[in-house]
C-alpha cells in the first residue's frame, strides 16, 4: 500500500468486520506496527465511520498493559496504527471440546478483566469480548483488541454512536441478554461476556450455541447452560459457581465490577502449601511433647492445630495431617484437664488464704439511724456522700466519724461527731430549719440568682430557702425577702 503518515504499509494480515489489518513499519522509531484501515465499501457509511473513529479515540485515551496500544490515526485516510503483537488470539488456542488448565484460565481472564476494569473506570464498555479479540503475546501477556463497537457511558461530550433500543450489536455467542434484546448495557455486560469466555476456556465449549444467530441470542436471554462441573471433572466447584454467577441473566446478580470478579477467582489458585504447613505442624507437635511446661505445651499444640487446619484447607485429603490432628486433639484434651486441675487447686488455695486474712483483719460495723428527718437531705460521712434522709445506714465502720447534711442547694449543717458502736444502731438528730419555696423571675431571663451571697440558679427559677429574712440579688437589683414555710409570693426583678 505504500507509505502513510510516517508509516510504511506492508502485507495484508487479516480482514475483520469493518476493516483490513496490515503489517506496517515505522521508520522513525524502527519498529513493526499494525495498520487497521476501514474497508472501502464502508467509507460512505457515516455510522460505521463514526464507530471506526470511536475505536481510535477510545484506544488513545487508554494506556494499559492488557489493552492494545494505538500509535497514530490518519482521520482523512481512516487508518490507525497499533502495536504489532507477536502471538496468537485465544480462538487459535482453543481446541473444540478441550478446556485449558484451570490456572491458565484464571490467569488469562484475570488479565482480561484488569484491562476491562481500566476501561470501565473511564466509562467505556467494550461490548464484544470474545476469543478472537483477545491476543496472547509470545511472552504470555494478554491484550484486548477491537474497541470498534465500544460504548461510552455518561459523557455526551465524547464521540459515541447511539444504538437504537431493540437493535442488536455484538457477537451472539458472547453477548449479554440485555445486548441480545437491544437493551441498555453498562459495564456488567462485559462481565457477562467475560463469564461466557471463561466458560469456553474452562470447558472447551460455548455455553450457548444455536442453529442460527437468532437462536443463539434467544438461548442467551432465556436458557440456563449446563454447569461447567457437569462437563469436566477437572473444573473446581468454586470456579463453576463463579462462572455461573458471572453469566447470570440479571445484571444485578452478576459480579458488580471486574475487580470483584478477579478477587473471586484468586481464591481458586492459591498455592498448595500443604506440605510446608504439615512439616511445621509436626515440629510444633514434637516441641509440645518434649516441653515440661503445661502452658508451653498447650501453646505449641494450638499452633500445631492451626497449621493442621491450614494444611487441610490446601489439601483436604492429606492423610498424615488427618492422623496428626487426632493426636493433637487428644493431647490438648489431656493438657487442658491437667491445667484445669492445677487452676482448681490454686483457686482453692487463694480462697483459703483470703478467708484467713478476712477472719483476722475483719472490720466491725454498726448502723446510723437518720430516719427521723422530715426533709430529704444528702448525708455526708467523713466528707463522703452515703445517701439521703430519711434512712438507716448499715455497715458503718465502728469508731468516730464526722457527719453533716446538705440540701445540695443552699443549706449545709454544721459537722457533728458521731460514735458508731459495734452491732448497734446510733440514732442522730440534727436541727434542720424549716424551708419555703419562692419563684424568682426577671424581665430579662437568664440572670443569676444570689441569696445571702450564694449563687443558686438563674431566672426564672423556683428555689427552696430556709425561713427567715433573706437577701436576694438578681443582676444589679437587691431585695430583702421574708421567707415563710411553704409556698411564698413570687418576686419579680426588672
CA dihedral 211, 214, 216, 217 (to 10 degrees): 180
Single out the residue of 294, 290, 288 nearest to residue 340, CA to CA. Answer: 294
Q: Burial code of 409-447, b = ≥16 C-beta within 10 A, e = fewer?
A: ebbebeeeebebeeeeebebebebeebbebebbbeeeeb
3-state secondary structure 273-285: CHHHHHHHHHHHH
Radius of gyration of the chain (CA): 44
Instruction: Evaluate whether 421 touches 398 at the Cβ level (below 8 Å).
Output: yes
Q: Which three cell numbers stand for residue 71?
A: 500509535
The three-state secondary structure class of 46 is: helix
Does residue 128 have an active-site annotation?
yes
CA dihedral 279, 283, 284, 286 (to 10 degrees): 130
Catalytic position from the list 74, 91, 121, 128: 128
CA dihedral 204, 205, 207, 208 (to 10 degrees): 150
Phi-psi group of 101: left, alpha or beta (phi > 0 → left; psi -120 to 50 → alpha; rest → beta):
beta
Phi, psi angle pair for 224, to nearest 5°: -100, 125
Cα–Cα distance for residue pair 106/115, rounded to 1 Å: 14
Q: Which residues are catalytic?
A: 128
Amino acid at each position: 500500500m505504500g507509505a502513510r503518515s510516517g508509516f510504511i504499509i506492508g502485507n495484508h494480515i487479516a480482514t475483520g468486520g469493518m476493516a483490513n489489518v496490515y503489517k506496517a513499519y515505522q521508520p522513525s522509531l524502527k519498529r513493526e506496527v499494525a495498520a487497521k484501515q476501514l474497508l472501502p465499501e464502508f467509507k460512505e457509511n457515516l455510522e460505521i465511520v463514526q464507530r471506526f473513529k470511536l475505536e481510535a479515540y477510545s484506544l488513545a485515551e487508554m494506556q494499559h498493559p492488557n489493552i492494545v496500544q494505538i500509535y497514530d490515526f490518519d482521520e482523512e485516510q481512516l487508518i490507525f496504527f497499533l502495536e504489532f503483537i507477536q502471538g496468537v488470539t485465544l480462538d487459535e488456542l482453543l481446541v473444540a471440546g478441550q478446556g485449558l488448565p484451570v490456572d491458565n484460565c484464571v490467569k488469562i481472564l484475570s488479565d482480561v478483566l484488569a484491562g476491562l476494569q481500566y476501561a470501565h473506570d473511564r466509562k467505556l464498555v467494550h461490548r464484544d469480548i470474545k476469543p478472537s479479540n483477545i491476543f496472547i503475546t509470545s511472552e504470555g501477556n494478554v491484550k484486548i483488541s477491537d474497541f470498534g463497537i465500544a460504548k461510552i457511558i455518561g459523557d455526551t461530550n465524547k464521540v459515541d454512536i447511539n444504538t437504537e433500543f431493540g437493535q442488536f450489536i455484538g457477537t451472539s455467542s458472547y453477548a449479554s441478554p440485555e445486548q441480545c434484546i437491544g437493551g441498555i448495557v453498562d459495564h456488567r455486560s462485559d462481565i457477562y461476556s467475560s463469564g461466557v469466555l471463561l466458560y469456553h476456556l474452562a470447558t472447551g465449549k460455548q455455553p450457548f450455541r444455536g442453529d442460527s444467530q437468532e437462536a443463539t441470542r434467544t438461548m442467551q436471554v432465556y436458557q440456563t447452560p449446563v454447569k461447567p462441573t457437569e462437563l469436566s471433572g477437572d473444573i473446581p466447584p468454586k470456579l463453576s459457581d463463579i462462572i455461573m454467577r458471572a453469566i447470570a441473566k440479571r445484571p444485578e446478580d452478576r459480579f458488580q465490577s471486574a475487580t470483584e470478579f478477579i478477587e473471586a477467582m484468586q481464591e481458586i489458585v492459591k498455592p498448595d502449601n500443604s506440605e510446608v504447613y504439615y512439616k511445621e505442624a509436626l515440629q510444633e507437635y514434637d516441641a509440645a511433647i518434649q516441653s515440661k511446661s503445661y502452658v508451653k505445651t498447650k501453646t505449641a499444640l494450638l499452633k500445631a492445630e492451626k497449621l493442621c487446619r491450614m494444611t487441610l484447607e490446601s489439601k483436604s485429603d492429606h492423610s498424615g495431617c488427618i492422623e496428626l490432628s487426632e493426636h493433637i486433639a487428644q493431647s490438648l484434651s489431656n493438657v487442658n484437664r491437667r491445667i484445669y486441675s492445677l487452676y482448681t487447686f490454686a483457686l482453692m488455695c487463694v480462697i483459703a488464704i483470703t478467708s484467713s486474712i478476712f477472719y483476722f483483719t475483719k472490720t466491725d460495723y454498726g448502723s446510723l439511724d437518720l430516719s427521723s428527718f422530715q426533709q430529704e437531705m444528702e448525708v455526708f460521712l467523713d466528707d463522703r456522700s452515703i445517701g439521703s434522709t430519711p434512712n438507716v445506714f448499715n455497715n458503718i465502720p465502728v469508731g468516730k466519724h464526722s457527719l453533716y447534711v446538705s440540701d445540695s442547694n443552699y443549706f449545709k449543717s454544721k459537722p457533728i461527731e458521731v460514735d458508731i458502736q459495734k452491732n448497734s444502731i446510733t440514732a442522730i438528730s440534727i436541727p434542720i430549719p424549716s424551708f419555703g419555696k419562692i419563684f424568682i423571675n426577671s424581665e430579662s431571663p437568664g440572670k443569676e440568682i444570689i441569696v445571702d451571697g450564694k449563687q443558686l440558679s438563674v431566672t426564672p427559677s423556683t428555689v427552696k430557702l430556709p425561713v427567715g429574712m433573706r437577701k436576694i440579688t438578681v443582676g444589679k437589683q437587691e431585695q430583702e425577702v421574708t421567707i415563710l414555710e411553704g409556698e411564698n409570693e413570687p418576686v419579680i426583678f426588672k
